[in-house]
């Protein structure tokens, strides 16, 4: 009988736009303060993309780096998936724009929408495709430009978000199995606590949706916070259970970077000290689908994790959606 097909991680890459927006810059835009933002969220600055730099461009820059590390050419890919909630356009998919930028044709390419959990959902989809034998070499990207769907007059939300992209290349393997487990969940009952109301089929764009600012993120922050902590802890524990690993086998935990207080509460709930948790929220803010993969790439480049180390990604986002993945670097 044929041996089970496993997944090998070939490489990661990430890209953050050059422009830095600091908390002091925000003090000039809305009634906020560096003290409030730092203390309540842990964020000090975030990156903002240019007006002529769409999500596919950040995705392209991150992908090129991941492909370089993986030491393969775009022509060797046979599937592209981008997790994003800020696509270049409704359609074609941002994955098709990325495919064009990479100079390849024919292979399938599609976007995946699961808000901040998109990248972890993408790991699950990639694992299933490779294990089934349908695709052999997959480029999975998490890319978002939340600055372009942010209400810059709303101090409750505009201090939280940023832009960026991260990419990973997976291949099939008879020897390795680097995705040890993935656990996913969702609960649509809470869809109105974190959402972007207009522009879809419920409220197609009209003059009034624009004047009422309905094309920007709306969030009931405190309610989202309360749901995020138990769901992230649950996902972290379920993925561990599924992997057959113990909490001590994990070198670092990379939680979604939405609020340092959420990260600390999750760490406490699953019983780990903060020195085992990777945090870069102070530099990036919340970049939705791009968060866990840009953090993972930074952790690898900084030598916080080495070849063979086991990492747990934990996420939570609009939907609500949540999930965790245990991977070997």
- Give the one residue of 215, 225, 249, 282 binding ligand UT7; rule: CB under 6 A: 225
| Neighbouring-strand partners of residue 316 | 322
- Starting at the edge strand found earlier in the chain, the sheet holding 310-317 runs 179-186, 321-328, 310-317, 252-255
Footprint (CB under 6 A) of ligand UT7, residues 83-142: 116
Binding piece for ligand UT7, criterion CB under 6 A, among 35-43, 74-82, 90-98, 264-272:
35-43
286 is catalytic: yes
Binding to ligand UT7 by residue 286, rule CB under 6 A?
A: yes
Q: Choose between 11 and 285: whose C-beta lies nearer to ligand UT7.
A: 285
Q: Choose between 99 and 288: whose C-beta lies nearer to ligand UT7.
A: 288
For tokens 């690993």, the residue is 245
Binding to ligand UT7 by residue 194, rule CB under 6 A?
A: yes
For tokens 């696509």, the residue is 87
CA distance 127 to 179: 7
CA distance 255 to 270: 12
Closest CA to 81 of 57, 67, 99, 54: 99
Residue nearest to ligand UT7 (CB): 221
Binding to ligand UT7 by residue 263, rule CB under 6 A?
A: no
In 252-329, where do the E strands start and end?
252-255, 310-317, 321-328
CA distance 195 to 218: 5
Strands 109-112 and 45-48: unpaired
248 is catalytic: no
Per-residue binding letters, 139-168, with ligand UT7 (x by CB under 6 A): ----------------xx--x---------
- Give the one residue of 119, 121, 253, 316 binding ligand UT7; rule: CB under 6 A: 316
Binding to ligand UT7 by residue 216, rule CB under 6 A?
A: no
Give, as one character, the DSSP assignment of residue 93: -
* 322, 262 contact by CB (below 8 A): no
- Give the one residue of 172, 259, 280, 321 binding ligand UT7; rule: CB under 6 A: 259
- Give the one residue of 20, 34, 36, 282 binding ligand UT7; rule: CB under 6 A: 36
Catalytic (active-site) positions: 116, 256, 286
The binding site for ligand UT7 (CB under 6 A) comprises: 32, 36-37, 40-41, 116, 155-156, 159, 194, 221-222, 224-225, 228, 256, 258-259, 262, 286, 316-317
């Amino acid at each position: 009988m044929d041996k089970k097909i496993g997944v090998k991680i070939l490489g990661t890459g990430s890209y953050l736009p050059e422009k830095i927006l600091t908390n002091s810059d925000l003090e000039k835009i809305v009634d906020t303060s560096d003290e409030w933002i730092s203390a309540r969220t842990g964020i000090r600055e975030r990156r903002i993309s240019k007006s002529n730099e769409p999500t596919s461009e950040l995705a392209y820059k991150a992908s090129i780096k991941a492909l370089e590390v993986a030491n393969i050419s775009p022509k060797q890919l046979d599937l592209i998936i981008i997790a994003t909630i800020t696509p270049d356009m409704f359609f074609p998919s941002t994955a098709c724009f990325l495919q064009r930028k990479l100079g390849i044709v024919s292979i399938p390419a599609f976007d995946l929408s699961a808000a901040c959990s998109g990248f972890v959902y993408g790991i699950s989809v990639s694992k299933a495709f490779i294990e089934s034998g349908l695709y052999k070499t997959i480029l999975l990207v998490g890319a978002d430009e939340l600055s372009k769907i942010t209400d810059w007059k709303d101090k409750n939300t505009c201090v939280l978000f940023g832009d960026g992209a991260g990419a990973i290349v997976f291949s099939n393997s008879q020897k390795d199995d680097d995705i040890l487990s993935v656990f996913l969940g969702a609960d649509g009952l809470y869809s109105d606590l974190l959402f972007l109301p207009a522009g879809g089929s419920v409220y197609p764009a009209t003059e009034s949706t624009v004047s009422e600012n309905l094309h920007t993120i709306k969030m009931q922050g405190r309610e989202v916070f309360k749901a995020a902590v138990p769901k992230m802890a649950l996902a972290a524990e379920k993925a561990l259970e599924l992997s057959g690993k113990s909490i001590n086998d994990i070198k670092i935990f990379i939680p979604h970077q939405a609020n340092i207080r959420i990260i600390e509460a999750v760490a406490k709930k699953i019983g780990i000290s903060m020195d085992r948790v990777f945090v870069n929220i102070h530099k990036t803010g919340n970049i939705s689908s791009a968060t866990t993969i840009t953090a993972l790439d930074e952790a690898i480049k900084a030598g916080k994790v080495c070849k063979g180390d086991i990492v747990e990604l934990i996420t939570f986002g609009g939907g609500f959606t949540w999930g965790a993945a245990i991977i070997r670097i």
